[in-house]
Amino acid sequence: MSAANDRATVAIDTVIARMAGYGPKPAIFFKGIEYSYERFLELVAGWRARFAGLGISAGSVVAVLGDYSPSTCALFFALMQERAIVVPFTKSIHAELERFIEIAGVEILITIDSDDRDEARRIGGLPKNALIEAFLAEGMPGLVVFTSGSTGEPKGILHNCEHVMKKFATERPGWRSILFLLMDHFGGFNTFLGAFAYGGVAICVRDRSPEAVCESIQQARATLLPTTPTFINLLIASNVYRAFDCSSVRMITYGTEVMPEATLAKVRAIFPNAQIKQTYGLSELGVLRSKSESDASLWVKIGGDGFEVKIIDDVLWVRSEANMVGYLNAPSPFDDEGWMCTGDHVETKGEYMRIIGRKSEMINVGGQKVFPAEVETVLLEAPNVREATVFGAPHPIMGQVAHARISLHAPESPESVTERLRAHCIRRLQKYKIPVRFTIVADETLRSDRFKKIRSGLSDAPIS
């Protein structure tokens, strides 16, 4: 293969040409209005016509701050066509924005507000990141996303956009997809690409509250809801879904964290016409194909074209053709053969596996392993428990013990909650797995802006 062919954006060109063929079909739903593919590609062309004036060309490192909208989505495709380096940001990383800009060596920051108006600012004086500098020699578009930083400074992850797009080159059925997962993490960007690549409809939400999501499902007749177990539990607890017609939903996908069995059972009852599918992916590796054993099961088969999996000492390893180019600010996590240890402990049953928790979240109680999700499932089955987060706390004799932070549906005294939940756990769990302390907290303190459980840096100081 020639060097010129090596640099061809075949997958990106294939997807954009396919999008052009969809013509009058709806492409994006924003504030009650549907935009056709024809109109959407006009927005893409409009951005490209502006690039020279903005100082954007092949290899430019361009950050986009905002949320999904017609202009934001069109800008992403325009930057890929221009072979620029795309760095999506959302307001959830406001406190770390300047540090992320520095790590990525951002040259231009384009901010797009909630009314789809944009403002561009040139950022001078930042050196090119060394990995990006080397990547530019390939003449390919890039994508930079950041890890959450729960175990240290967030890592900048560089992907080749052409490699990311390859999984979408083969045409599949399209969905009317809620753009729930944020665009500055790999899972969200993957959802965004899939919505357009298959001729579906990308549905923008005004915010990610249960009410706003259900409202968007009803208004846009959404068929796909990609989300997290934490959001699903919040949706169930809120009861707001009863006020909206969500019958159009045909599939709910969940990932990013372990799903409690109690939550899975409840969401199946609420959405009886929807397939419930577990997904799996990492920012460093991409999103793998997955197949759940059944809607009622947490057992899943993962892999598919371009991915290999293996299990060593009950821990999942993955090798991917869509591996990231590398970290911008950390050593490579891949071994000499391209395998990456995910840190996910699994149980196996034939071709299927069940993810039981991350190594970093495991609680070591006197040498015994406790995975928070198992305990959380038991707590969520108890009356009046709205949400539960279990984490490890230091102990002078046992090394660690389990603590639980919970939110409630209705007010209840701490003494009553502790007595009742301890009795509930005794009937269901081995003694070393039972939390030694229960703390009642406000519901919103248990989750991040990305609707994932917060486990790191917790304390048991009650919230007044």
Same domain? For 409 and 327 the reply is no
What is the distance between the alpha carbons of residues 65 and 88, in angstroms, rounded to a whole number? Answer: 6
Same domain? For 189 and 304 the reply is no
Decide if 341 contacts 333 (C-beta within 8 A). Answer: yes
What is the distance between the alpha carbons of residues 354 and 255, in angstroms, rounded to a whole number? Answer: 13
Decide if 157 contacts 144 (C-beta within 8 A). Answer: yes
Same domain? For 218 and 200 the reply is yes
What is the distance between the alpha carbons of residues 25 and 342, in angstroms, rounded to a whole number? Answer: 40
Q: Give residues with Cβ within 8 angstroms of 174, minimum separation 6.
A: 195, 198, 199, 200, 201
Please say whether the dihedral angle defined by the alpha carbons of residues 333, 337, 342 and 344, taken in this order, is positive or negative: negative
- Identify the CA nearest to 32 among candidates 185, 219, 197: 219
φ/ψ (deg, to 5) at 156: -85, 130
> Domain end: 358, 382, 399, which one?
358
Decide if 97 contacts 143 (C-beta within 8 A). Answer: no
Decide if 129 contacts 325 (C-beta within 8 A). Answer: no
User: What was the pLDDT predicted at 5?
Assistant: 44
Same domain? For 306 and 282 the reply is no
DSSP conformation letters of 18-37: HHHHTTTSEEEEETTEEEEH
Same domain? For 338 and 369 the reply is no
Burial of 362 (0-12, 13-18, 19+ CB in 10 A): middle
What is the distance between the alpha carbons of residues 398 and 395, in angstroms, rounded to a whole number? Answer: 6
Q: Tell me if 393 is assigned to some domain.
A: yes
437, β-bridge pairs:
403
Residue 288's Cβ-side half-sphere holds a number of Cα atoms within 13 Å equal to: 25
User: What was the pLDDT predicted at 152?
Assistant: 63
* pTM given for the model: 0.86
Same domain? For 332 and 366 the reply is no
Decide if 112 contacts 65 (C-beta within 8 A). Answer: yes
Same domain? For 223 and 233 the reply is yes
CA-CA distances (angstroms) from residue 64 to 15, 96, 236? 22, 15, 33
SS3 assignment for 137-166: HHCCCEEEEECCCCCCCCCEEEEEHHHHHH
Instruction: List the beta strands (DSSP E) in 207-299.
Output: 224-227, 251-254, 275-278, 280-282, 286-292
What is the distance between the alpha carbons of residues 193 and 317, in angstroms, rounded to a whole number? Answer: 26
Q: Tell me if 463 is assigned to some domain.
A: no
User: What was the pLDDT predicted at 457?
Assistant: 58
User: What was the pLDDT predicted at 3?
Assistant: 42
Structure tokens at 323: 């591996």
Decide if 403 contacts 391 (C-beta within 8 A). Answer: yes
Same domain? For 282 and 415 the reply is no
Going from the first residue of the chain to its last (464 residues), give the mean pLDDT of each consecutive group of 10, the final group possibly shorter: 58 96 98 97 98 97 97 98 97 90 96 96 92 95 83 85 92 96 92 96 96 97 94 90 95 85 87 90 85 85 84 91 90 92 90 86 88 90 92 89 93 93 93 93 81 67 35
CA-CA distances (angstroms) from residue 354 to 155, 179, 349, 380? 27, 27, 8, 19
Q: Which residue has the tokens 């000499």?
A: 336
- Identify the CA nearest to 161 among candidates 73, 77, 71, 89: 77
Instruction: List the beta strands (DSSP E) in 235-336.
Output: 251-254, 275-278, 280-282, 286-292, 300-303, 307-312, 315-320, 326-327
> 212: domain CATH number?
3.40.50.12780
The b/e string for 252-278 (b: 16+ C-beta within 10 A; e otherwise) is: bbbbbbbbbbbbbebbeebbeebebbb
Burial of 411 (0-12, 13-18, 19+ CB in 10 A): exposed
Q: Tell me if 452 is assigned to some domain.
A: no
User: What was the pLDDT predicted at 95?
Assistant: 84
Task: 459-462: list long-range contacts, CB under 8 Å, 24+ apart.
Answer: 460/393, 460/403, 460/405, 462/414
* Residue ranges making up the domain that contains 121: 3-293
Q: Which residue has the tokens 């409009």?
A: 46
Same domain? For 410 and 439 the reply is yes
Same domain? For 289 and 328 the reply is no
Q: Tell me if 385 is assigned to some domain.
A: yes
Written as one letter, the residue type at 120 is A
User: What was the pLDDT predicted at 151?
Assistant: 53
> 366: domain CATH number?
3.30.300.30
Same domain? For 134 and 267 the reply is yes
Q: Tell me if 311 is assigned to some domain.
A: yes
